[in-house]
Amino acid sequence: MLKGDYGKKSFINPITKLMLLVTLPAFLMGGLGGKDAEIFTLIFPLVSLFLLFISKNFKAGIIGLLAYIAVIIAWSALSSGSDGVLHIMLFIVAGIVTGLLPCALMSIYVISSTTASEFITGMKKLFIPDAITIPMSVIFRFFPTVKEEVHAINKAMKMRGVRFGGRKSAGILEYRLIPVLMCSLKIGDELSAAALTRGLDSPRKRTNVCDTRFRIQDILLLLLCLCAYLVWVLSLFGIHFGEVVKL
């Protein structure tokens, strides 16, 4: 972050981020393209990791990298012979690490590196209406808020001796859910009031301070996603990328 540069620049464009956010789960978890798109199930996790490192989010990056390497080794060592319980267990872990984890890492990258201003601008460029964009940005803002509230409430419960197994354990869910909802409701109302006094409902065309030009890295990543979809579409027509390469 350069001092005096108040429009924080992300490495990639919000539109590229949205594209990755949609594409990664489709291929890693939804299994689009099956065997033909296997190469992408290797590339996409690397993209997540790369973006995390470049945005200096080393903690998530290193955890992701280690987990990924560990599972790949374990998988190739064990999967061939075994079946049954061990296989299923390993599969569950592998499923999380190879499928869910890269997607989660990408979400972490996108959420931590995208400002609301960028997000709204990106969505505008894709012609997505405010009715979707504004609640979406509230959702992303609200996740950490709920986390904070839940944390504070848990602490209070622990201090007051409401825990599993105790006399008060019957109410444990109710005691947790109700204060969270009460506080969320209150925060929501205050948030709306504050946002409205800051011109949220203005009918004027919104401007934005962020830079949303496409750069070379955006074009490369978009092309990568496009290739993945292409492989999938071709496979639907019986043209298999894997065989084409072999030929």
Partner 1 sequence: MSNQTKKNFIGGRDLINIGIFTAIIFIITMAVMPIGFIPVLMPLYCVIIPVFGGIPWMLFATKVKKLGMVFIMSMLLGLLLMITGMGWYALPVCAVSGIVTEIILKLGAYKSKKHTVIAHGIFCTWLFGSYIPLIFMADAYWQQNADYGEEFISSAKSIFQIWTAPVLIALCIVFGILGGLLGLKIMKKHFAKAGIV
Partner 2 sequence: MIELNNVGFTYLSENSDESSAELNGSLSNINLIIEKGSFVLLTGPSGCGKSTLLRLINGLIPHYYSGKLEGEVMIDGEPVNDKPLCESAEKIGTVFQNPRSQFFNVDTTSELAFLSENLGIEPETIKSRIKQTAESFGINNLMNRSIFHLSDGEKQKIACASIEVGKPEIILLDEPSANLDYHATMQLRQLIAQWVRQGRTVIAAEHRLFYLWDMIDRVVLMNDGKIIKDYNKNELNKLSDNDLSKLGLRSAHSPAPTEIELPAVTTDDKMLTIKSLQFGYKQGFFTRSKAGNYIIDIHNMKLALGKITAITAANGEGKTTFLNCLCGLERRSKDDIIIDGAPFKRRNRLNSFFMVMQDTNHQLFTDSVLEEVMISLPEPNEDKALKILESVDLVCYKERHPMALSGGQKQRLAIACAVASERDYILFDEPTSGLDYGHMKEIATLMRQLRDLGKTVVIVTHDSEFIEDCCERKVNFASRS
Report the distance separating Cα 107 and Cα 44, nearest Å. Answer: 13
Stretch that binds partner 2, among 46-54, 71-79, 182-190, 235-243 (CB under 8 A): 182-190
Q: Is 96 in the site for partner 1 (CB under 8 A)?
A: yes
Which CB, 62 or 182, lies closer to partner 1?
182
Q: Do residues 187 and 145 lie in contact, with contact meaning Cβ atoms separated by under 8 Å?
A: yes
Contact 40/231 with Cβ under 8 angstroms?
Answer: yes
- Nearest in space to 37 (alpha carbons), one of 180, 244, 181, 209: 244
Amino acid found at 55? S
C-beta separation of 163 from 157 below 8 A: yes
Give the shortest CB-52-to-partner 1 separation in angstroms. 17
Choose the binding region for partner 2 from 30-38, 47-55, 174-182, 213-221 (rule: CB under 8 A).
Answer: 174-182
Residues 6+ apart with CB under 8 A from 24: 44, 47, 48, 102, 103, 106
DSSP conformational letter for 237? T
The whole-angstrom distance between residue 167's C-alpha and the CA centroid of its chain comes to 40
Least spacing, CB of residue 4 vs partner 1, in Å: 32
Q: Which residues bind partner 2 (CB under 8 A)?
A: 1, 3-4, 6-8, 58-59, 62-63, 112, 115-118, 137-138, 140-141, 144-145, 148-149, 152-153, 155-162, 168, 171, 174-176, 178-179, 182-183, 186-187, 189-209
Q: Which residues bind partner 1 (CB under 8 A)?
A: 21-22, 24-26, 28-35, 79, 83-84, 87-88, 91-92, 94-96, 99-100, 103, 107, 130-132, 134-139, 141-143, 146, 174, 177-178, 180-182, 184-185, 187-188, 191-192, 195-196, 200-201
